[in-house]
Amino acid sequence: MIRVSITTLGCRVNSYESDAMAGLLRSHGFEVVPDNEPADISIVNTCTVTNIADRKSRQMISRCRKLNPDTKTIVTGCWAQRNPAEAMRLPGVRAVIGSSMKSRVAEAALDVLDGKTGIDLVADVMHEHSFEEMSAIAEGRTRAYLKIQDGCSRFCSYCAIPFARGAVRSRSLDSVRREMERLNDAGFAEVVLTGIHLTDYGRDIGNVDLADAVACAEGLSGIKRIRLGSLEPHGLTDGMISRITAEPRICRQFHLSLQSGSSTVLSRMKRGYDADEYADIVSKIRHSCPGERSRTAITTDVIAGFAGETPEEHKETMAFMERIGFARVHVFPYSRRSGTLADRMPDQLTNAEKSARAQELISLGKELERRFLQGFIGSAEEVLVETAHRDGTVSGLTDTYVRVFAPHGEPNTFIKPIIRSIKEDRNGELSLLSDN
């Protein structure tokens, strides 16, 4: 049997697509093996969100060849879409697949086995208008991801993703419902809806929105939780917020991308909202969710050291993070991307300045996370068990996306332990600890 490995970089959408490609390859008789094992064909699903992601993508392609000198490499994903010629020139690469043609991975693998080289399956994604239907069921997991949307039409001044993913394309509601039914029948207790720009779901097919996609789980009793992937403030109307939060299975964790707490920086980023408008959306979400408003987790992304960011604007972001009280903050130093408006802006900060500001944001984010977790001590929290550890303990996630360690439980079942303390691991990651 021909062995194929898949290496995945980047976001949850990429992970979903890698799982879908694995399923397609298995259906054509290939054996899919871990990416650290010998393989006849190595597939690298790349990312281009930052310069670091570009570099890691190239490194992973080289790593595959070092691990298996005779392997035949197929490169796909966002970096491959933006740089197909560069990808094809790398040693050992036989095929390049663009971000909208991953469903043809088995075809490419069979062609590679026949000795073909220079296989180019990269379309002009800027003129792609159809959602690429793929199905993914990842064995051994308690949470299932369901991709319902692709592409972004917003063109923030710093972002290269629209050039790698193309315009907004949505999965039909009929297809979303069919996939929900498959995941329900497969026994998944939690389904995560994911996409490149979830809040734009439906704008290309008319008269539907993200709340309609959430409603596709109606009547599927095996699915106990519905979680939303990363959300943009654009398009989160009052009506959509009300309908989504009215679903009793919706998780009280909303990852609402911020990028900066300074309205002047947000304007240069072309984000389409200011700090007060963002805060208003957060308030509406918290007031719409049942239970204590402080228990609704608002998580976010923040870019440190954007082009022209002054010390005062950086302080505005710090103050805004405190004002919102985020449950978790992912911090990224600003990365210049060729072809974007921000790359040509004046007053670019040095790497040292960006790094220093990122560290300040990370420190504040960790303190805010600790404050959020402190509010759970002494309470009984419902946890979906994911992992059984060697020491006999288990761990899983609350609906607010907090990891809890408990003495006992079975994977893919719910427990409701009483939280006793905050746990910090050697990498500084915070979680909750229960003794019952």
| Interval 161-212: pLDDT, tens | 999 999 999 999 999 999 999 999 999 999 999 999 999 999 999 899 999 9
When mean pLDDT is compared across 71-75, 126-130, 192-196, 298-302, the lowest value belongs to 126-130
The pLDDT of 392-402, averaged and rounded, is 96
pLDDT of residue 294: 67
Is residue 141 over pLDDT 90? no
On the question of pLDDT at 155 being above 80, the answer is yes
pLDDT grade for 140, boundaries at 50, 70 and 90: low
Q: What is the pLDDT of residue 421?
A: 97
What is the pLDDT, as a whole number, of residue 164?
95
pLDDT in tens, 359-395: 999 999 999 999 999 999 999 999 999 999 999 999 9
Taking each continuous run of H as one helix and of E as one strand, the counts in the chain are: 13, 19
In whole angstroms, give the CA distance from residue 167 to residue 246: 30
At residue 98, the pLDDT reads 96
Beta carbons of 160 and 30 less than 8 angstroms apart: no
pLDDT of residue 435: 82
At residue 139 the predicted structure's pLDDT band, cuts being 50, 70 and 90, is low
Answer yes or no: is pLDDT of 436 > 80: no
Answer yes or no: are the C-beta atoms of 96 and 81 closer than 8 Å: no
Architecture of the structural domain at 143-374: Alpha-Beta Horseshoe (3.80)
Nearest in space to 74 (alpha carbons), one of 61, 89, 63: 61
CA-to-CA distance for 170 and 15, rounded, in angstroms? 18
C-alpha distances (whole Å) from 436 to each of 91, 276, 420 are: 54, 42, 9
414 token code pair = 């719910």
- Report how far residue 287's alpha carbon sits from residue 303's, in angstroms, rounded to the nearest whole number: 27
DSSP for 66-112, please give it: HH-TTPEEEEEEHHHHH-HHHHHHSTTEEEEE-TT-GGGHHHHHHHH
Around 359, how many Cα atoms within 13 Å sit in the side-chain half-sphere? 5
- Phi then psi dihedrals of residue 4, to 5 deg: -130, 135
Nearest to 181 by CA among 146, 210, 151: 146
Strand positions, DSSP E, 229-376 = 253-255, 297-304, 328-333
| Inter-helix orientation angle 275-288/238-246, to 10° | 30
Average pLDDT over residues 64-83: 95
107-121 residue pLDDT tens:
999 999 999 999 999
Q: Give the confidence band of 293 by pLDDT, cuts at 50, 70, 90.
A: low
How do the domains of the chain map onto residue ranges?
3-123, 143-374, 383-434
Q: Residue 274: what are its φ and ψ, rounded to 5°?
A: -110, 180
Q: How confident is the model at residue 86 (pLDDT cuts 50, 70, 90)?
A: very high
| pLDDT tens for each residue of 336-346 | 999 999 999 99
In angstroms, rounded to a whole number, what is the distance separating the alpha carbons of residues 7 and 45? 6
Q: At what angle do helices 311-324 and 275-288 cross, to 10 degrees?
A: 10
Provide the residue count of the chain: 436
Q: Supply the pLDDT for residue 379.
A: 95
Q: What tokens appear for 21 in the block?
A: 């490609």
Give yes or no for residue 74 having a pLDDT over 70: yes
Sheet holding 169-170, edge to edge: 169-170, 143-150, 190-195, 225-228
CA neighbor of 125 nearest in space, from 84, 184, 89: 84
Could you tell me the pTM of the whole model? 0.94
Give the pair of three-digit tokens for residue 229.
């992937």
Report d(CA 17, CA 274) in Å as an integer: 33
CA-to-CA separations, 297 to 21, 65, 275, 317, 429, in angstroms, rounded: 33, 42, 18, 19, 17
Helix (H) or strand (E) holding 238: helix 238-246
SS3 content of the chain, % helix, strand, coil (to 5): 35, 25, 40
Assign a CATH topology to domain 3-123: Rossmann fold (3.40.50)
The mean pLDDT of the chain is: 95
Report the phi/psi class of residue 325: left, alpha or beta, with left for phi > 0 and alpha for psi in -120 to 50: left
